[in-house]
Each structure stands twice: as structure tokens, then as C-alpha cells.
Chain A
């Protein structure tokens, strides 16, 4: 009956890591374009809410996903207006938008609390999903879990193998140089925010449409902030974000799996694990990875002087 501990943690890491990975990939794109968006938590919340609302209205979770992506993208344009056009403080703008989204989604989602929807289908890949140990972990999931690696590859390709990605990274390193080279930094930053917001929205939608299957106010509960920390861990590389998301998702799953198997460790200590891991990452990698950081990010306070 019971599943081996490692298998339980691995499957849990993928389930919990999915929403975090999409959020982190979105943030990678945004930070590569020279912005730090602390509003990612809000962006994911907007995705969770609008995805759920659209699914409840249309009865189709895939339309819900499209709505979530669009809502996330549009929501991030607010950040763009504040930060790119108005040159407001990035950190303050991000946090403000996070709180804004709490209120916005509370109103929009008010009538959808407690609604039951047909969420994303769970697919069991024929034959593969029956492989001992590996099958249940890797070959059972929904569209977004199966999309984790392809999406990270797509983001990598877009950033490193396309002209748009090159321009985006140039803007992130040095806006002035990019401008002098004939690029339009503001337009590229808006584009980065839109694409990043779409990914964040998808991450949120995974929570409401698959993982939990309900809409509740504030249901992202800090996963967006974990995703922001994850970007540093991944040193702004989309492919490394996969490992990071599994690590953080694993930390969430690990503590619940431990509790379910009767450890003598306090649940309050265990509950700190994902956040301790975040702190550890910042301590260990925060400093010596600065050279990998997009140069534009060192100017996050631009506009306050």
C-alpha cells in the first residue's frame, strides 16, 4: 500500500515545484531584462484567480490556462508602467503590486470561492507510468508538469539563441549601451514583463486548476517569493531553475512526507525548511554569483535619487 519515502518526496517535489518553476522562469526573463519584480507573488495570484474564474465560466481548464497567462502578462504591464515608464522604485512598486493583487483577486474571485471545477486532466502515460519507482514520479501529471522541461528549454532558447533574447539581455546589462546600439530598451522591457507575467500566471494557475483544485484568497502563500529567491540560486539560467524548483518543491514535500512518517522533529521546525533553504541559498550563492547577475540589476534603485 505505502509508497517508498524517496518516491513520495520525488513525486511531491515535482507537484510542488511546478508552480514555482513557471514563476521562476518568468522572473528569469524579467531580471535578464534588468528588472527585479517582487510582484511575482501577485502575478501568480492573479493567474490562479483568473485561471480559475475562466475555467468556472467556460468549463474548460485549458481556456483557463490561456486566461491565466494573459492576466499575468497584463498585470505585469502595471509594473512596467511604474518602473519602466515612470521610473518608480522597483522594490516598492513590486511589493505594492503584490498587495494590490491581494485585493484585486479577492474581489474578482469572491463569487468563485468554493466552486468546483473540472481542473487540468491528469495523464498517465501508457506503459511508461507503470515502470517501477520511476513511472509514478515522472510519467503521471498534467500539462504543466509535463511542460516543465520543455518550457525551461524554450525560455533558454529564446534568451540565448534568438535576436530578441540577445537584445533583451543587452538591455538587462546596460540600457544606455542598448539604446546607443539602436535598440528600444523600454519596449523590450515591456515585452519581457509580458512574457514573464504569462509564465507567472501559468504557475499560479497550476495551484488553483490542478494542485489544490480550488480558489481561495491569497492561495499562493509566499510561493512567488520563493521563486524570486530561486532565480538567484539558478544564477539567472533557465535550465538551472529546473533543479532549483525541484529542490524547493522537494523541501515543501519533504517536510510533509516526514510528518506523515512520524518523525520526532517539531512540525514548526520542519515548516521552516523551504525558507531556511532560501536563506542558505542567499548566503552561499548570493555573493559569489554577483558576476553572473545582469548588470542592470545592480541599478535597482535607479529613479530614487
Chain B
């Protein structure tokens, strides 16, 4: 009996230690109870102008991931530089669960008047906290619901993928391009389609091969996927997974070219094979949010920027991109911004030969982002 008790104790201690560690790994802000200062008991932020602001930001991963989270973090840094009287509290590795609510509450206690829950899965937790704190403003990325004090923002990079396709098609020698994606969801399929359409616009014989990883984060599998694509003759790869780092590094090892996504910073890992990429650049938008909140002029809205808005930026070109290609990309970019070029101009067939956009019609990108369940002609890969 005594023995049994001791065993259970040993197990229980391990279990508790494990839970504690997991929890710490989760929310890495330290909950300092002294921080509940008078700042939180101030006036309603939506009306009175303030000259100081505390911004609370929560990230789903590490801010040094060379990907999505790092792009968000760099935007916060830029906001701090633009507005010296703004203070930022950040928390990393916060699970998309009730834990997120606890972290947000904690930040509000420390006096945060603008909360940026920076991952898709934080939407419902943020709406819950927003309902309890009408004097605190929230801005959520890619959200599809708003509240009087919760606005949403995103950057639609679809037409930029068209330009990436041009860069890839102009640089490939084998006429085979490759994509590695976490999951085949509509907005990613739309990106791949735009990419292939861009590629075909300069070289109709270029094909794109898609590999589905079934994981947002599995670097070993991402590496093997690059190897498999390189083995099959692909010489330009791009991706939408959490961090582009492994894909661009493995491509470099295999001596093939790569196009980045999420963070401009990944270019450092890419070596000579780097063509270009798309990076989120939210710095000016975050600065505007902070200014509006301080001035009391903030309004709840769904703020989706397209190519001309600057919420996302085309990364600097690598040495393999010729000046002609750069000029062509600039011209096409100008056409898209001016409304002269629609990426999804019919007739467009899917890769089964079915017409998905009729001749003379154009696809509406916001609709496509939510509904696309096909790959266009020229893209191979099963998605179901």
C-alpha cells in the first residue's frame, strides 16, 4: 500500500511538472501582479485623446521563426520606432485557446489599450475579451467577425503571386515549378492558381507541381518535399507553410531556386538561388492603428489591403533575376494596381479540363479566396 502511494506520488509529480512546463512554454509573458497600474482605470480610450499607449500583442509561435510571426514582430518594432511614446508588451507561443484570453486579460491589467491577437485562431478568444472590455481596442488578422471595439485586417497577396509566377517562369530552365503547402485550403489554392497564371502569361509551357505536407510545421518533411521536387526536375520552389526557412535552405543545398513567403527576412537563408518573395509589412498599418486609438478616432472595420496598399511587399530580387524580368514585373504590377489587369481573366480551365471562369468574365478575388476548390490547368497535384 505504501509502495503504491509512492508510485502515484512519483507519477503525479511528473505530471504536474510537465503541465507546469507546458504552460510556461505556452504563455511566456510573466504575470506580474504589480503591473495592474492606474493606467487601466483611466478614461474611455475611444473618446479622449491620449499621448501614451500600451499595445499588447500575442503571437502563436516564436517571433524569430523567419516567417509569419517574425513579420508581425518586425511590424511592431517599426511602429515603436515611428511612435516613441508607444510601449509594446509581447507574448509568444500562446496557444489558440482559453489561454489566449488569460494572456489578453493580463495585458489589459498592465494597461494595454490596443490588443493585437496576431493569429487566426485568436478570433473567438479576442471577441470574448473584447465584450468584457469595451474601452480596449482589438485588431485581428484575417478575422471574419467584427465587434464595436474589434476590427480586422489582412493583406490579399493573390495578385502578387501572379508576379511571383512571372519571376519563376522567366528564371526556370526546366519549365517545372514546385509548391509546398501545409493544407489545400481555398485561399492557398487561389495563390497557386494566380502563380501558375502569371507563369503561363510569359511562358505557356511552364507547369507547376504541388506537394501537400499535411502540416503547417514539419521541417523534416518540408526538406524531403523539396528533395522530391528537385528529383522530379523542378528548379524553382515556393511554399506556404509557417516558416519558409527550411524550404529555401534545402533548395539552396540542392542548387535550385526559391521564392519566399511571409517574411522578407528569409532572404538571408536563401543563398544565390533566391529569386524574390512576398513578405507581410504591417508596420505602417499598425502605426495607423496606434495613432487612431490615441487620437480617439479609431473605428471598427474589416481592412483588407490588396497589392497597392503596402501591407505586403515584394522582396528584393536575387542575382538570377534579369533586368528585363524586373521591368516586366514592375509593369504588370502597375497594370494590376491601375485595374488594367485582372489575374483571373477567363477563359480559365481547371486541371481536369472543366471551364471554371468563362471567356469574357473575370474572377472576383475575395470570392475566390473563400471558395476555390480546384487547381488551374498547368498545375498538377491532387488536393482531395
Contacts and interface: CB of A to CB of B under 8 A. Distances in A.
B231 to A, nearest CB: 4
**Interface of A: prevailing SS:** helix
A96 B220 contact: no
Contact of B62 (A113, A211, A253): A113
B228 interface: yes
The 9 closest A-B pairs by CB, nearest first: A103-B21, A2-B233, A106-B25, A212-B219, A8-B231, A114-B64, A113-B62, A267-B212, A103-B22
Given A102-B25, A217-B217, A267-B381, 12 more contacts: A96-B15, A107-B24, A110-B62, A113-B62, A116-B249, A116-B268, A212-B250, A256-B225, A259-B210, A259-B212, A260-B211, A262-B380
A271 B242 CA distance: 19
Contacts of A97: 14
Contact of B224 (A16, A111, A217, A267): A16
Nearest to A256: B228
B229 interface: yes
Interface of A: 1-3, 5, 7-8, 11-12, 15-16, 19, 78, 82, 86-89, 92-93, 96-97, 99-100, 102-104, 106-107, 110-111, 113-116, 122, 207, 211-214, 216-219, 221, 223, 252-253, 256-257, 259-268, 271, 303
B354 interface: no
Interface in B221-264: 221-225, 227-235, 243, 245-246, 249-250, 253
Contacts of A107: 21, 24-25
B228 A259 contact: yes
B128 to A, nearest CB: 25
Q: Which of A19, A111, A256, A261 neighbours the largest number of chain B CB atoms within 10 Å of its CB?
A: A256
Contacts of B62: 110, 113-114
Contacts, number: 194
25 contacts: A1-B235, A3-B230, A15-B227, A16-B224, A96-B11, A97-B14, A104-B21, A106-B25, A110-B62, A111-B64, A113-B65, A114-B245, A212-B219, A214-B243, A214-B246, A217-B61, A221-B218, A221-B220, A256-B211, A259-B225, A260-B234, A266-B382, A267-B381, A267-B383, A303-B7
B86 to A, nearest CB: 25
B227 A12 contact: yes
B11 A93 contact: yes
A213 B247 CA distance: 10
A3 B220 contact: no
Interface size classification for chain B = 35 or more
Q: Which of B64, B174, B220, B230 neighbours the largest number of chain A CB atoms within 10 Å of its CB?
A: B220
Contacts of A262: 209, 380-381
Contacts of B210: 259
Given A96-B14, A113-B61, A268-B214, A260 B21 contact: no
